[in-house]
Amino acid sequence: MSLKAGDIISFERTFTKEDVEMFTKVSLDEGDHHMTPDEQGRLVIQGLLTATLPTKIGGENNVLARTMNFEFLRPVFTEDTIKCDVTVETYEKLENNRISFGASFLCANQEGKPVLKGSFAGVIL
């Protein structure tokens, strides 16, 4: 994928109970709200599980992250479908044949309500 500043990359994902269970095992984030369903039978997704959405773009483009900033705006629940829009802010060739990469992102639930926003930056080797 050839990127440039101003590009917007979008994708979406629906989180499941199994996603929460697997992430709980890896992260050891076992808060009651992640383990006990609410009155609608939903679990709250761990914040850092939600934060894997924008990192997908970095991974697809071999970005070695140097900074990541997250602002969690509202909870995400199992069976929520989250759309993530990543905007390439900087994409500049460096002297050492690396590329400086910076992006901002906004994630929103199926109702269009923002759930997570932030930015990340790094280099592409």
pLDDT tens profile 47-85? 999 999 998 888 888 889 999 999 999 999 999 999 999
Residue 29 has pLDDT above 70, yes or no: no
Residue 94 lies in a domain: yes
Residue 55 lies in a domain: yes
CA 64 to CA 76: how far, in whole Å?
27
Residue 29 lies in a domain: no
Structural domain boundaries enclosing 79: 8-15+45-124
Q: Strand 81-93 relative to strand 8-14: parallel, antiparallel, unpaired?
A: antiparallel
Residue 25 lies in a domain: no
What phi and psi, each to the nearest 5 degrees, are found at residue 47? -55, -40
Q: What is the largest CA-CA distance in the chain?
A: 56
- Tell me the average pLDDT of the chain: 91
Tell me, what CATH number does 116's domain have? Answer: 3.10.129.10
Task: Report the amino acid identity of residue 41.
Answer: G
Residue 84 lies in a domain: yes
Residue 30 lies in a domain: no
